């Protein structure tokens, strides 16, 4: 039995009252399973349907059609049992300003009928670097500390499935390291983790398998290693202050002074470098690297690479 199962999930929002408005299809027959013990990544640009899918999984929205199950429990028909198996860390910072950190965790425990949960709360506080903030009021915490508390609240009932919706958005490096160490340890102990993130280097490092959404549809479902191995291009990486010639500019991914150009072989690398020399573009720190997950993601979203999908025997593998 999969830990989480999405079967032909569609979600259509009705048209707004504006003249000419049409219904919005946020999800279009999304289907995939997440096996027990997987560290699974759900990726996609803004508006791809990730938040809608997580909201349906958490019981905050209902499907138009299709079904979602957590450890075999339908999230709509068996909401209580499904929710007991699920811990969700939301993207938004939501907190009660009248409680201390420990009080917030004690109250959260009570929602799940746990009234003698002090030892696990202490472990959460220690593991997430919150032990010295246990008596602090939630209003006194920084944004990063509030996010740590959200993680602790999601884990307070020891759920077998942990959903992390953009957990490191806007937080410092220390929190990221603390969070991934703690969650990674839980995953090694058998907890299933579903991660949505825009930090693709995190997804590449942490997730054994990925699904990519675009306009409400799954366009890739594959092991991370397979997606990377199927990326045949190398990347010519350099820095410059000069304007690129139009032909190269159309191919390049530019971030500030950093330019990245896809190159299938050494001959194409030399053609790129010759074009740069001919245009008088001065380059620094030239290097050639293998394509990473960000390169694969951009190629798939732009439709310039084939969607990769594992055969059924591989899709079920952790």
Instruction: Supply the DSSP symbol for 135.
Output: T
The predicted-structure confidence for 193-228, as pLDDT tens digits, reads as follows 999 988 888 899 999 999 999 999 999 999 998 888
Dihedrals φ, ψ of 154, to 5°?
-70, -25
Q: Is the predicted pLDDT of residue 317 greater than 50, yes or no?
A: no
In this structure, the strands spanning 209-214 and 217-223 are antiparallel
CB 11 within 8 A of CB 26: yes
Q: Which of 80, 202, 97 is nearest to 149 (CA)?
A: 97
The proportion of the chain whose per-residue pLDDT surpasses 70, expressed as a percent, equals 93
Report residue 232's pLDDT band, with 50, 70 and 90 as the boundaries: low
Q: pTM of the full predicted structure?
A: 0.83
Fold of 233-290: Alpha-Beta Plaits (3.30.70)
| Mean residue pLDDT across the chain | 87
Dihedrals φ, ψ of 25, to 5°?
-90, 100
In this structure, the strands spanning 73-74 and 24-34 are unpaired
Dihedrals φ, ψ of 123, to 5°?
-65, -40
Q: Is the predicted pLDDT of residue 272 greater than 80, yes or no?
A: yes
What is the C-alpha radius of gyration for the chain, rounded to an integer number of angstroms? 22
The proportion of the chain whose per-residue pLDDT surpasses 90, expressed as a percent, equals 49
The predicted-structure confidence for 152-165, as pLDDT tens digits, reads as follows 999 999 999 999 99
Which is more confidently placed, 234 or 155? 155
Dihedrals φ, ψ of 309, to 5°?
-135, 130
pLDDT of residue 57: 95
Report residue 40's pLDDT band, with 50, 70 and 90 as the boundaries: very high
Q: Is the predicted pLDDT of residue 316 greater than 90, yes or no?
A: no
The predicted-structure confidence for 70-128, as pLDDT tens digits, reads as follows 999 999 999 999 999 999 988 877 778 888 999 999 999 998 888 889 999 999 999 88
CB 36 within 8 A of CB 318: yes
Strand partners, 61: none
């Amino acid at each position: 039995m999969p830990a989480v199962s999405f079967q032909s999930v569609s979600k259509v929002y009705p048209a707004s009252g504006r003249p000419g408005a049409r219904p919005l299809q946020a999800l279009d027959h999304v289907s995939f399973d997440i096996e027990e013990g997987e560290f699974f990544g759900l990726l996609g640009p803004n508006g791809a349907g990730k938040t809608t899918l997580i909201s349906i999984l958490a019981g905050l929205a209902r499907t138009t059609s299709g079904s979602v199950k957590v450890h075999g429990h339908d999230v709509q028909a068996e909401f209580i049992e499904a929710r007991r198996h699920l811990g969700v860390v939301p993207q938004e910072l939501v907190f009660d300003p009248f409680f201390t950190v420990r009080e917030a965790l004690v109250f959260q425990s009570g929602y799940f009928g746990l009234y003698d949960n002090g030892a696990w709360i202490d472990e959460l506080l220690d593991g997430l670097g919150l032990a010295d903030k246990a008596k602090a009021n939630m209003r006194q915490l920084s944004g990063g500390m509030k996010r740590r508390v959200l993680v602790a609240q999601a884990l307070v009932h020891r759920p077998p499935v942990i959903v992390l919706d953009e957990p490191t958005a806007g937080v410092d490096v220390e929190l990221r390291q603390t969070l991934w160490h703690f969650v990674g340890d839980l995953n090694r102990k058998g907890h299933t983790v579903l991660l949505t993130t825009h930090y693709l280097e995190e997804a590449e490092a942490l997730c054994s398998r990925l699904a990519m959404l675009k306009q409400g549809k799954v366009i890739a479902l594959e092991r991370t290693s397979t997606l990377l191995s199927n990326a045949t291009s190398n990347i010519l990486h350099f820095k410059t202050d000069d304007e690129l010639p139009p032909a190269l500019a159309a191919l390049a991914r530019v971030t500030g002074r950093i330019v990245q150009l896809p190159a299938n072989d050494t001959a194409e690398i030399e053609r790129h470098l010759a074009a740069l020399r001919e245009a008088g573009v001065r380059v620094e720190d030239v290097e050639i690297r293998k394509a990473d997950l960000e390169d694969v993601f951009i190629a798939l979203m732009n439709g310039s690479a084939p969607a990769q999908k594992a055969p059924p025997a591989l899709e079920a593998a952790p």
